[in-house]
């Protein structure tokens, strides 16, 4: 029986967090470090963080309202 690590590089979530509790930032940094592309990961995080204020302003009912994307599509 093959294990996943024999098929492809495998990275587990840090034990510093409960299951599925690590933030997207932490997971992106971990993936970037594991792939030897930490600078790319940090730039991606910075780009997303720079866009967040604009996206929050465009959300009709404020942060946490995920309905806006569906509403624009007529659903």
Whether pLDDT at 2 is above 70: no
Domain count, the chain: 1
- Pick the range with the lowest mean pLDDT from 3-7, 27-31, 32-36: 3-7
64: in domain: yes
DSSP 17: S
Q: Which domain holds residue 61?
A: 17-72
Terminal alpha carbon distance of the chain: 46
Entry pTM:
0.63
In this structure, what token pair is assigned to residue 60?
A: 């009709």
The pLDDT of 27-37, averaged and rounded, is 91
The residues, ordered by sequence, that sit 6+ positions from 64 with a Cβ below 8 Å of its Cβ are none
Whether 45 and 37 have beta carbons less than 8 Å apart is answered as: no
Query: CA–CA distance from 17 to each of 42, 64, 70 (Å)?
Result: 20, 22, 32
At 36-71, the pLDDT tens digits run 999 999 999 999 989 888 887 777 666 665 554 444
34: in domain: yes
């Amino acid at each position: 029986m093959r294990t996943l690590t024999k098929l492809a590089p495998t990275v587990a979530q840090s034990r510093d967090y409960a299951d599925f509790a690590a933030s997207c930032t932490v997971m992106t940094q971990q993936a970037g470090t594991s792939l030897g592309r930490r600078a790319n990961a940090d730039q991606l995080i910075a780009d997303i963080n720079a866009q967040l204020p604009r996206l929050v302003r465009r959300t009709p009912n404020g942060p946490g309202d995920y309905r806006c994307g569906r509403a624009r599509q007529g659903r």
